[in-house]
Amino acid sequence: MEERANPLKIEKDQKKVLIYTPTFKIIGYIHLPTNARLTDTLNFAVDKNPFIPVTKAHGYSMEDNKLCFVADFLSVNKRRIDLVLIEPEVKSGDEQI
């Protein structure tokens, strides 16, 4: 029997991110549709879809940088995000600044 592709499945790229909110610094992974820009994902349908999923999340207090939580899955309110940084992919031979 021939296996058919799921039409609802979207190919995604996993990106390690650092997310700053007013109360937490969150380190984890987001999953962006292949070739999508992070800004487009954050700005798309904020009223209908105000949260972005983060996996393997570690949350640190902005006040004292102490670890507050670890979660396999976390849903972060896009409106509470002050800054998001994608960790650059380091290829062999490349130097990290």
Q: Per the structure block, which two tokens stand in for 21?
A: 């909110």
CA distance linking residue 73 with residue 53, whole number of Å: 7
Neighbours of 33 (CB within 10 A): 12
pLDDT tens, per residue, the chain with 97 residues:
566 777 778 888 999 999 999 999 999 999 998 888 888 888 888 888 899 999 999 999 999 999 999 999 999 999 999 999 999 876 666 655 4
Q: Which two tokens stand for residue 66?
A: 């102490």
Which pLDDT score is estimated for 72?
Answer: 98
Contacts of 24 (CB under 8 A, 6+ apart): 59, 60, 61, 62, 68
Query: What is the CATH code of the structural domain delimited by 12-86?
Result: 2.30.30.100
